[in-house]
Amino acid sequence: MDKDKLKQEVAKRRTFAIISHPDAGKTTITEQMLLFGGVIRQAGTVKAKKSGNFATSDWMEIEKKRGISVTSSVMQFDFDGKRVNILDTPGHEDFSEDTYRTLMAVDAAVMVIDSAKGIEPQTKKLFKVVKQRGIPIFTFMNKLDRDGREPLDLIAELEELLNIEGVAMNWPMGMGKGLRGLYDMYSHRIETYRPQNEAERFIALDPETGEINGDDLLKEDTIYQQTLDDIDLLSEAGNKFDLDKIAAGQQTPVYFGSALTNFGVESFLKSFLSMAPAPSSHELLNETTLSAEAPEFSGFVFKIQANMNPAHRDRIAFVRICSGQFEKDMTVKLARTGKELRLNNATEFMSAQREQVDSAVAGDIVGLYDTGNFQIGDSIYTGKETIEFEKLPQFTPELFVEVMAKNVMKQKSFHKGMQQLVQEGAVQLYKTYTTDDYILGAVGQLQFEVFQYRMLHEYNSEVVMKPIGARTARWIDPEQLDQRMSSSRNLLVKDLQGNPLFLFENRFAENWFKDKYPKVELTAKL
């Protein structure tokens, strides 16, 4: 691909993640977008268990049973002249580490908020990560088909709780049973709710007055008149639309709608794609930046997933392409080891549906079949100059369990499952220092439940988990280590790389240790 063609292809890419609190409607809005992209014929909601229609982005069996997203799926489609890559992130807070890493692989974020509940704790957490990256954030106030909070209150809450300016792009005309439509300031039209036919879906607004021409019936509607009063108030006292502020993540365009009834979603998607950025430069470890249009191929692994196809026991490394062009059978260098690898088997995603990919460019996500070469955070590249991207965030676990196989005759599948699943990064694996017994660490309890379920259903290994409670992990320099320092209150273990660390029972135990061994240095992370 020549330089101009590569530039054109990169400019078409829109790569973003959808963040929200559980149950705000993130999976539903994803499904509607896939519907517009022509990749599915019918949107399946997570709760439609009787019909057997499950959301495309929820491919894992446990997600279908529980109606939650616990892994990050990747979905790609073409819409409105753009190549769209959606990274669907886990909504459950116990899987926030996976979400944080996924947010390092996107160029923009869509924040879905339940209009009845407003900003909830998980939304606030995830928003902070997005804000730190300084990428554009677009807000969709969902569930307008139900009675919710006043729109002005919702926008005010954005500013108070998240410290970001909210600028309304459309405005609800009523809500719940009284929902009439959306007054769309961005497209200068009214989008009617549940029109009789497609011709009645949009009503043009006079660009001078901002009112509709004709349709006296609607003009007399009190909800319409109230909407005009709100629009006047917004134009006087609201934030002014500023594309530079949006690009810097300081202002968020706010859209209202209902994902469940597919109202306002298409208008939102078109508006979002017109404003969201194409792939741009990435920071490198040597404090330089790499342009998305640079000719040499580069990318980083932000996720590893085992058993997307349980029949083949496969393992996929998800790579965000940052520059150049990916081509099948290309040879790349792995920055961590300096080893050369041939990428002869790669895939693009439609959640669990996968297609072989021959070519991809900056902004795209490709899945590489992996036999154990890759780790989360790995950089790969072509060319003579070493390219190594900034480290991905890692979180120290807070909950710990001892893990053993229930059936001692199935040790082989037990050990294989333990080794493969921990490489996904949702749980951390430790071993007792002298006996090599397994201990798992996680941020939340649900991660253990998912791990146990997958061990049984993907590796036919029933495991027993014995909780050892909340612990504080602290690493120690091997040269300072004396195994006699260990006790039941500060358990000595080693991580996957063999580095020693203590799991302290509580703050008191840690302080007691520091008083007893004042010269020993303990660190929260390596």
Comparing CA positions, the residue from 368, 389, 386, 369 lying closest to residue 377 is 389
Phi, psi of 367, rounded to the nearest 5 degrees: -105, 125
Q: Is the pTM of this model over 0.85?
A: no
- Distance between CA atoms of residues 433 and 485, nearest Å: 12
Written as one string, the DSSP assignment of 338-400 is TEEEEE--EEEEETTEEEE-SEEETT-EEEEE-SS---TT-EEE-SSS---BPPPP-----EE
Could you tell me the two tokens for 95? Answer: 């899987």
- Look at residue 111 in the predicted model and tell me its pLDDT: 95
pLDDT of res. 386: 93
CA distance 271 to 253: 10
Backbone angles phi, psi at 130, to 5 degrees: -65, -45
Q: By the 8 A CB rule, do 381 and 29 touch?
A: no
Question: Which amino acid type is present at position 369?
Answer: Y
Distance between CA atoms of 326 and 88, rounded to whole angstroms?
Answer: 23
> CA nearest 249: which of 122, 125, 161, 162?
162
Measured in whole angstroms, how far is the alpha carbon of residue 422 from the centre of its chain? Answer: 19
Give me the half-sphere count of Cα atoms (radius 13 Å) on the Cβ side of residue 293.
Answer: 11
Strand partners, 522: 476
**Structure confidence at residue 382 (pLDDT):** 96
How many other C-beta atoms are found inside a 10 Å radius of the C-beta of residue 499?
14
The per-residue pLDDT for 41 is 54
In angstroms, rounded to a whole number, what is the distance separating the alpha carbons of residues 309 and 287?
A: 39
For 377: left if phi > 0, alpha if psi spans -120 to 50, otherwise beta; the answer is left
Q: Around 503, how many Cα atoms within 13 Å sit in the side-chain half-sphere?
A: 27
* CA–CA separation, 14 and 270 (whole Å): 12
| The pLDDT of residue 197 | 86
pLDDT tens, position by position, for the chain (526 residues)?
A: 788 899 999 999 999 999 888 888 888 898 888 888 876 555 444 333 344 455 544 444 434 444 333 344 678 888 999 999 998 776 545 445 677 788 889 999 999 999 999 999 888 888 888 888 889 999 999 999 999 999 999 999 999 999 999 999 999 999 999 999 999 999 999 999 988 888 889 998 887 777 886 656 566 778 988 999 999 999 888 899 999 999 999 999 999 999 999 999 999 999 999 999 999 999 999 889 999 999 999 999 988 776 555 555 567 788 999 999 998 889 999 999 899 999 877 765 543 445 566 788 999 988 888 777 888 889 999 999 999 998 887 667 888 999 999 887 788 889 888 888 787 666 889 999 989 899 998 877 777 887 888 788 878 899 999 999 889 999 999 999 999 999 989 999 999 889 999 999 999 999 999 999 999 999 987 6
Quick count: other Cβ atoms within 10 Å of Cβ 23? Answer: 15
3-state per-residue secondary structure call for 184-233: ECCCCEEEECCCCCHHHCEEEECCCCCCECCCHHHHCCHHHHHHHHHHHH
Query: How many angstroms separate the CA atoms of 75 and 89, rounded?
Result: 11
Which positions make up the binding site for GTP? 20-27, 88-92, 142-145
Q: From CA 475, how far away is CA 237, in angstroms rounded?
A: 53
Q: No. of H helices and E strands in the chain?
A: 13, 31
Is 408 within 8 Å of 424 (Cβ atoms)? no
Q: Please report, in range form, the residues annotated as the binding site.
A: 20-27, 88-92, 142-145
